[in-house]
Amino acid sequence: GNPWGYGKQDGPSVWHKNYPVAEGDRQSPIDIVPHQASHDPSLGPIVLNYDKCTSIKIANNGHSVVVEFEDSDDRSVIQGGPLGNPYRLKQFHFHWGGKDCHGSEHTVAGNSYASELHLVHWNAVKYKTFEEAATAPDGLAVLGIFLETGDNHRWLHTITDVLYTVKFKGSVTDFKGFNPKCLLPSSLHYWTYLGSLTTPPLYESVTWIIVKDPIIVSEKQLGKFRTLVFTGEEEDQRTRMENNFRPPQPLKGRKVRSSN
């Protein structure tokens, strides 16, 4: 079976048994309290150079749906903001709820969004491989985008239209020519803090950059994510993929900074 999941027996409340760092000092996600975030005028804008990005495939990894990118060179990078150098785009994935009232990992003043998109990047300037970067304190940078339900999102159908091909854990489909820039809100004002992966192995290697403005997607579009299952095609128990989010973790004295 799975080493970890989001159920009663294998979910976030027991991850610490196999991954003791779950109780560490820089765990993610967190609840962001806007008025307690310190505005830092030295924080420049986030710059995304995704125009040459090369998406390769879309997959169901038994925890989420993931779109992987070619990351053998600096063709698609994030830089600026709190980052000291460019970080390479490796993959993006989503977290969502069983109903639209919850599903995001980060919360804002205690409020959840329906879903959260994570664009995962790694520091290929300082580290030779992703795996090495993933265990380093400045190894990863994840851009988080909240999803709120409302009108149809004009580009999300590119993803939701192919989700039926990755219904089961372990399924993979070619997914070329997708530029995730179409999933970003117009303003990239953000909060940033030092944290971790929000799933096992929970490495404390992530500089989080959480965009303040959500993108709007329809309930119908979000509902398509819930047609995925955590389980493999061969398993007799089909478990709907939903509520694949970790709840907020203790801040432990960390500072959250805010761009303008």
Ligand X SMILES: CN[C@H]1CN(c2cccc(OC)c2)S(=O)(=O)c2sc(S(N)(=O)=O)cc21
Which string of x and - marks every residue 49-68 that binds ligand X (by CB under 6 A)? --------------x-----
Q: Which of 30, 197, 217, 256 binds ligand X (CB under 6 A)?
A: 197
* Minimum CB–partner distance for residue 232 and ligand X (Å): 16
Residue 249 as a binder of ligand X (CB under 6 A): the answer is no
Nearest residue to 32 via CA among 117, 106, 131? 106
Q: Which does 231 bind (CB under 5 to 8 A by kind): Zn ion, ligand X, none?
A: none
Q: Which of 55, 91, 104, 192 binds ligand X (CB under 6 A)?
A: 91
Catalytic option among 63, 93, 121, 153: 63
Whether 63 sits among the annotated catalytic residues: the reply is: yes
Residue 184 as a binder of ligand X (CB under 6 A): the answer is no
* Minimum CB–partner distance for residue 97 and ligand X (Å): 15
Q: Assess contact for 10 and 18: CB atoms under 8 A.
A: no
Q: Cα-Cα-Cα-Cα dihedral of 42, 43, 44, 45, to 10°?
A: -160
Q: Which of 142, 147, 156, 211 binds ligand X (CB under 6 A)?
A: 142
Q: Between 24 and 201, whose beta carbon lies closer to ligand X?
A: 201
Q: Between 163 and 197, whose beta carbon lies closer to ligand X?
A: 197
How far, in Å, CA of 127 to CA of 136, rounded? 9
Residue 201 as a binder of ligand X (CB under 6 A): the answer is yes
Between the CA of residue 58 and those of 10, 48, 78, 164, 169, what are the distances in Å? 25, 21, 21, 11, 12
Contacts with ligand X, residue ranges (CB under 6 A): 63, 91, 118, 120, 134, 142, 197-199, 201, 203
Give catalytic residues, as residue numbers.
63
